[in-house]
Amino acid sequence: MNTDKQPSPRIIEGGKGEKTMESQQERVLIYLRDLILKGEFAPGERLGEVALAERLKASRTPVRLALATLEQEGLVEPSPAGGYVMRRITAAEIADAIAVRGHLEGMAARLVAEHGVPRQLSNALAECLRAGDRLLAKSELDLDDYAAYTDMNNRFHKLIVEGSGNAALMRAIDMNNRLPFAAASAMLPMQSAIEEGRQWLFMAHQQHHSLVDAMERGEGARAQALATEHVQIAQKNLAYALERPDVCMKLAPALHLVAEAVL
């Protein structure tokens, strides 16, 4: 478990700034999910409502509701003794979630291609491509460069998903991405520790260029195939992380939740 505890945010504000119960619950959910993905809790660790409420300076009700939501997302599980514990996640679950993301994003890319790429979306995608090109033109990449690429990659994937105009698809991708390491950029920080990391980024960004080209040309089937294939690099990252948890754990603390990554 990560022992570098961060100061807990105050979820509930008093007086005129008091939040509604709904907003309190949403904030508790966001902070709890963030703590989990930062490796703050060990697999099997009991998540007591009282302790969490004190840590987040919130009441027990939004904590209880947030834990129920996290159970639906597959991050925690009920304890035989009552309450919840951190669930150990298998590598197969993560690999499956990455594959599902590929198919969902493939559908999104196909819809964008079939609907036609609006000028605003085209300009935004082009800026993402230019930002990636500038970064990868460097002979060596430092941690700041990987962070900048991660930000660009998040924007790129979000633009395509939102550009699909399919609300059900957006919800499905959002739910799938809540499993550790399933989201588009979840594995990118680890690439700074991988010898082939820059090469993999270059391959991924070339795929970005090809994907945008297919969408701009209205080639829906090609765009779908490219987006589906694009997640193979994330699968390679996962395989490397499981083989070398000693190297990757510092960059991805939630890796200790994965059963096959136990040291």
What's the fold here for domain 15-86? Arc Repressor Mutant, subunit A (1.10.10)
Averaged pLDDT score across all residues of the chain: 85
Q: What is the per-residue pLDDT across 42-76, written as a single tens digit (0 to 9) for each?
A: 889 999 999 999 998 888 999 999 999 999 888 89
Q: 143-163 and 91-115 helices cross at what angle (nearest 10)?
A: 60
b/e code 151-163 from CB counts within 10 Å (16+ = b): ebbbbbbebbbeb
Ramachandran angles phi, psi of 59, nearest 5°:
-80, 170
Q: How far apart are CA 32 and CA 52, in angstroms?
A: 9
Domains of the chain by residue range = 15-86, 91-261
pLDDT tens-place string over residues 71-125 = 988 889 999 888 899 988 888 999 999 999 999 999 999 999 999 999 999 999 9
CA distances to 2, 51, 141, 190 from 244, in Å: 18, 34, 21, 10
Maximum Cα–Cα distance across the chain: 58
Closest C-alpha among 192, 180, 189, 182 to residue 157: 182
Q: Which residue has the tokens 């504000």?
A: 13
Q: Express each pLDDT in 199-234 by its tens digit.
A: 888 999 999 999 999 999 999 999 999 999 999 989
- Extract the tokens encoding 113: 């291609």
State percent of the chain over pLDDT 70: 85
pLDDT in tens, 8-37: 454 444 444 444 656 777 888 888 888 887
pLDDT of 54 reads 92
- Amino acid (one-letter) located at 218: G
Rounded to two decimals, what is the model's pTM?
0.78
Predicted local confidence at residue 7, as pLDDT: 47
CA 69 vs. chain centroid, Å, equals 17
Q: What is the pLDDT of residue 103?
A: 98
What would the mean pLDDT of 177-199 be, rounded to a whole number? 77
Fold entry, domain 91-261:
Four Helix Bundle (Hemerythrin (Met), subunit A) (1.20.120)
pLDDT, position 212: 98
Would you give the end-to-end CA distance of the chain in angstroms? 12
**What are phi and psi for residue 258, nearest 5 degrees?**
-85, 125
**Going by C-beta distance under 8 Å and a sequence separation of 6 or more, which residues neighbour residue 108?**
160, 161, 163, 164, 166, 169, 173, 227
pLDDT, position 225: 98
